[in-house]
Chain A
């Protein structure tokens, strides 16, 4: 019993007579249409996702102030620190949002005790 519902190609014994070898070779226009739809769809999803991500970021930076955001300098802690997430001072007494760190990220040489945990404290 043979099952040949895609190409009808069920033998390689006469290769000189073989042309296309991929399945469903009569549907190439449909393949292209599917491919173009996937391509354009990717752009739509990507643009929406990226715009939303930047909107969230700008909103977060407004909440905690740009100075403090830059103080972290791209730290991974930004996404996990409670203060960043909520805009409120977490239990433990971190500085209020909007308070720039004394001396900048490294300017003072020592991280003030009421600063959010930084990379230096963790490592």
Chain B
């Protein structure tokens, strides 16, 4: 770096992303508080460990292959071209640029920024499966989404040269689909196989409320997620870029979104806060003042507007945030009742349904905007007058399906089935009934008095029945015996 101006630009960019990584850590701290608060006292330490361990597992695998996938899978491979080899060499784990190198100053910082997105995706799934998922199975699921499936979707739809962007005009500036929809789909795929917690549904299928052990902790956790989301938004931008020269005109420096299309920090500040406000207001009203769903509504609000928050008007973000929160709340309840899905923190709804909504609605509101500069003429289904791939409803609709089902639900469902066969997915029923901390860690609040909830009075006899029957609590569905319980728990 001999040129002072160029050096300042590089160092500023390097430092900018580095700061976003630090801020994004708060997302993970928030997810931990959120999950721990939403769970019961008897499972707190297991919940902490399960979530914590996704960090090292996803980090090392993202070093081994996740970061390389992002640059090498932009064409599918096999959809619009082959595997990208030469341009992805910097991300190979044995590359000299994947370490201290005076000729490359930012590879590790970009790697970390994407890695934090990976943690977030995996952590979203973590909350939905607490209180009965094994660490062994969850960590493998976390690696699947954190270092494989989400980063494939990023290569496809969150990269200026990605085939979804270039062909379909896919636009998802702050990851309604590429993080949240895929994480929601993954969570749903796992939950279908995992089954609900013991006692969650009565014999007639009526869902019961299992009270969280610490609601204020859950609320503060969500507040930390809101805080970390600032870092996430900032990390999705390129802070300083000569957009004018890059597009054949005079020099014009601006911030851009991840596709290299212009936006401003001002825009995302307006829209982030307005969509949060819309979600909180709607969440409060639609849940009739429920604390959990008011906070979650704020998160769903941001997610519902994120796909287009680089371009929306703040009032659009407000309204979309409100709609996203309402949709998440209503769909969560309906899916729970209809399909007996026990999503402890509502992750499928808040991230999955709101994310899908956000991606689809952006196709209508931003219909006609350029999605990215073309890599090759004639690839895009729809183009702007300049011949650039154009944002459109069809591309967004198909993109949402790809995110939620193709890369989210299906791989997770298959992986969960395999893990279930290996008996690595769910803890034995007796362990679940007594508490995941009981046999190993002990009570997390040894100095606190016991207080039994109404749910526990129902849970205890039912849990004993479930263990005796060696089945999981899925009303109306015959269950195969669970190894490890079958041999030991004789009917009495």
Which positions in A face B, CB cutoff 8 Å?
15-16, 18-22, 25, 28-29, 31-32, 35-36, 39, 43, 46-47, 50-51, 53-62, 66-67, 69-70, 72-79, 104-107, 118-120, 123
A39 to B70, CA, bound (A): 21
> Are A79 and B101 closer than 8 Å at their CB atoms?
no
Which positions in B face A, CB cutoff 8 Å?
2, 41-43, 57, 60-61, 63-64, 93-96, 98-103, 134-136, 139-140, 423-424, 427-428, 430-431, 433-435, 437-443, 446-452, 456-457, 460, 463-464, 467, 484-485, 488-489
Main secondary structure of the interface of B (DSSP, over half): loop
Determine the chain A residues whose CB is within 8 A of the CB of B451 once the complex forms: 106
Given contacts A25-B99, A66-B489, A69-B430, 16 further A-B contacts (CB under 8 A): A16-B102, A25-B96, A32-B93, A50-B134, A60-B439, A62-B430, A66-B463, A67-B460, A73-B41, A74-B434, A76-B441, A78-B438, A78-B442, A79-B439, A119-B449, A120-B450
Asked if A119 meets B450 with Cβ closer than 8 Å, knowing A16-B2, A28-B96, A43-B139, the reply is: yes
Main secondary structure of the interface of A (DSSP, over half): helix
> Are B443 and A74 closer than 8 Å at their CB atoms?
yes
8 Å CB contact of B439 from A28, A39, A56:
A56
Determine the chain A residues whose CB is within 8 A of the CB of B452 once the complex forms: 73, 104-107
8 Å CB contact of A47 from B101, B136, B449:
B136
Min CB gap B255→A, angstroms: 30
The residue in B2, B431, B438, B442 that gathers the most chain A C-beta atoms within 10 A of its C-beta is B438
The residue in A21, A43, A57, A60 that gathers the most chain B C-beta atoms within 10 A of its C-beta is A57
Asked if A46 meets B442 with Cβ closer than 8 Å, knowing A19-B103, A28-B94, A32-B64, the reply is: no
> Are A66 and B439 closer than 8 Å at their CB atoms?
no
> Are B95 and A28 closer than 8 Å at their CB atoms?
yes
> Are A21 and B484 closer than 8 Å at their CB atoms?
no
Determine the chain B residues whose CB is within 8 A of the CB of A78 once the complex forms: 434, 438-439, 442
A76 to B449, CA, bound (A): 13
A sample of 27 cross-chain residue pairs with beta-carbon separation below 8 angstroms, ordered by A number, consists of A20-B100, A21-B100, A21-B101, A21-B102, A29-B94, A46-B135, A50-B136, A51-B136, A55-B484, A57-B430, A57-B434, A58-B430, A58-B484, A69-B430, A69-B434, A73-B42, A73-B434, A73-B452, A74-B41, A74-B437, A74-B443, A75-B443, A76-B441, A78-B442, A104-B452, A105-B456, A123-B447
Please provide the 10 A-B residue pairs with the shortest distance between their CB atoms, ordered closest to farther.
A76-B442, A74-B42, A74-B435, A57-B439, A28-B94, A21-B100, A74-B438, A18-B102, A69-B434, A47-B136
A57 to B427, CA, bound (A): 11
Min CB gap B35→A, angstroms: 17
Min CB gap B91→A, angstroms: 13
Min CB gap A72→B, angstroms: 7
8 Å CB contact of A66 from B64, B440, B464, B484:
B464
> Are B136 and A66 closer than 8 Å at their CB atoms?
no
A15 to B467, CA, bound (A): 67
> Are A39 and B438 closer than 8 Å at their CB atoms?
no
Determine the chain A residues whose CB is within 8 A of the CB of B485 once the complex forms: 58
